[in-house]
């Protein structure tokens, strides 16, 4: 990486760091067209794109959510990982209709992968479709998957400085879940500090603190999901009535 003196952005005012220009953004336009096609196809399914670093608790939360909402909602999940079917197996173990997307080493899911996957999963009756993205706070933020909402988990073990370091993930999310709250007494992590940083990146970001281990925040999370599913159904009905 070299500093381009002709470009003031590259030089900037920073001390000991270089701001790099992002030259890949225009390539994402094709992805956005596919994402819109997915939205059109899934008019009456609420789609939630769940993002985080590896190990923040996405699959465990999806399992717990599936168990808690089994009576209220019909849930399906597309789970992305570079390799293995392990997370889909974990979801099926709790009775959730699950399909693994093996990205073949890629660090994120792209909309075309979702479109391909939709031909291999039966979503008849599905109210809520989770997409568990590949564990990564960077690349997934750039790819619209046709979701209605993006939810990002940040575990208390990851440090409270991440929203400013990975701003696009938090800027493009509707909800940040501070996960593993049961560990707060043991780790140097401030929910106030992380919330303040996250809101400076995205003032509209909702924040909830959760733990799948002791159940903290899970009722609020499930209520949030039920409200979003209801809103999607009402919007779909209004479109049909027109
Ligand atoms: N202490 C604690 N550990 C958790 C919690 N949720 C998940 N874990 C653990 O975190 C690890 C990674 O969880 P997993 O759901 O596989 O994370 P993923 O990679 O984001 O899908 C596992 O060992 C889980 O048991 C939680 O709320 N509290
Ligand atoms: Mg997982």
User: What is the distance in A from the centroid of ligand 1 to the CA of 212?
Assistant: 8
CATH architecture label of 27-234: 3-Layer(aba) Sandwich (3.40)
Nearest CA to ligand 1 atom 9: 57
Q: Which residue is associated with the tokens 């099926």?
A: 92
pLDDT tens digits, residue range 104-150?
999 999 999 999 999 999 999 999 999 999 999 999 999 999 999 99
pLDDT tens digits, residue range 57-95?
999 999 999 999 999 999 999 999 999 999 999 999 999
Is 101:80 a contact under the CB 8 Å cutoff? yes
pTM of the prediction? 0.92
How many C-beta atoms lie closer than 10 Å to residue 38's C-beta?
20
Look at residues 61, 54, 59 and name the one whose alpha carbon lies nearest to residue 215: 61
Per-residue DSSP letters for 2-63? ---TT-HHHH-S-SS--------GGGHHHHHHHHHHHHHHTTTSEEEEEE-STTSSHHHHHH
Q: Which atom number of ligand 1 is nearest to the Cα of residue 211?
A: 27
d(CA 52, CA 62): 13
Q: Which atom number of ligand 1 is nearest to the Cα of residue 60?
A: 15
User: What is the distance in A from the centroid of ligand 2 to the CA of 59?
Assistant: 4
Q: Which atom number of ligand 1 is nearest to the Cα of residue 54?
A: 19
Residue boundaries of the structural domains of the chain: 27-234
User: What is the distance in A from the centroid of ligand 2 to the CA of 58?
Assistant: 5
User: What is the distance in A from the centroid of ligand 1 to the CA of 144?
Assistant: 25
Residue 2: the pLDDT is: 45
Average pLDDT, the chain: 93
Which residues form ligand 1's pocket by a CB distance below 6 Å? 52, 54-60, 135, 179-180, 182-183, 211-213
What percentage of the chain has pLDDT greater than the value 70? Answer: 93
């Amino acid at each position: 990486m070299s500093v381009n003196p002709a470009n003031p952005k590259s030089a900037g005012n920073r001390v000991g760091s270089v701001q790099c220009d992002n030259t890949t953004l225009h390539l994402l336009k094709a992805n956005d067209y596919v994402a819109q096609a997915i939205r059109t196809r899934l008019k009456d399914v609420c789609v939630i794109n769940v993002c985080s670093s590896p190990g923040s608790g996405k699959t465990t939360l999806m399992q717990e959510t599936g168990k808690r909402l089994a009576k209220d909602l019909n849930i399906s999940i597309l789970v992305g990982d570079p390799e293995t079917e392990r997370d889909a197996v974990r979801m099926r173990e709790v009775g959730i209709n699950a399909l693994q997307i093996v990205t073949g080493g890629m660090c994120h899911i792209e909309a075309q992968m979702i479109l391909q996957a939709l031909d291999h999963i039966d979503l008849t009756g599905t109210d809520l479709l989770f997409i568990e993205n590949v564990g990564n706070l960077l690349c997934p933020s750039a790819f619209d998957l046709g979701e209605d909402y993006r939810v990002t988990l940040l575990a208390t073990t990851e440090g409270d400085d991440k929203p400013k370091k990975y701003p696009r993930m938090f800027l493009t999310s509707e909800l940040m879940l501070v996960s593993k709250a049961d560990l707060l007494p043991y780790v140097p992590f401030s929910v106030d500090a992380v919330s303040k940083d996250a809101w400076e990146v995205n003032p509209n970001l909702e924040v909830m603190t959760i733990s799948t281990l002791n159940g903290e925040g899970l009722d609020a999370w499930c209520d949030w999901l039920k409200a979003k599913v209801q809103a999607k159904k009402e919007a779909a009905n209004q479109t049909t009535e027109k």
